[in-house]
Amino acid sequence: MKKSIYLFLVLLALNACIYQEISSTPVAKISSKNSTDNVSNNVLHINYDAKIGNQYILDAVKKYSATVIRTTPTTVSVQLPKGNNVDHAANHFKKVKGVQSIDWEKVYRIH
């Protein structure tokens, strides 16, 4: 009877160790958006009001020395020059007339 109790306790402790190891290991790590390592090619997607148009944005892109990658009826995708901070650029373009929101491409690294 004592042997079965000891065996039960050992198995219970072993099970707890295995469960803790599995549950504490993260499945995927998602980097924060503040790091420039997470940004894919420094690309911004600028969503604008279709009634106002994108001319103000296109002018701002030229002044910022960025490159227009693609335009749609409500979005302008822009690649920033190398070495530019995405957060700084997003704050710059938010001030342009007609801009509703700005998103950037993110890279999620799974470790």
d(CA 109, CA 53) in angstroms, rounded, equals 36
DSSP 1-31: -HHHHHHHHHHHHHHHHHHHHHHHS-S----
DSSP code of residue 33:
T
Where do we find the tokens 């600028």?
Answer: 46
Given a cut of 60, whether residue 82 has pLDDT beyond it is yes
Give the pLDDT score at 41. 63
Domains of the chain: 36-106 (3.30.70.80)
Token pair for residue 16?
């707890």
Given a cut of 70, whether residue 31 has pLDDT beyond it is no
Q: Which residues contact 110 (CB under 8 A, 6 or more apart)?
A: 28, 29
pLDDT band at 104 (very low <50, low <70, confident <90, very high): confident
pTM value > 0.85? no
DSSP 55-104: HHHHHHHHHTT-EEEEE-SSEEEEEPPTT--HHHHHHHHHTSTTEEEEEE
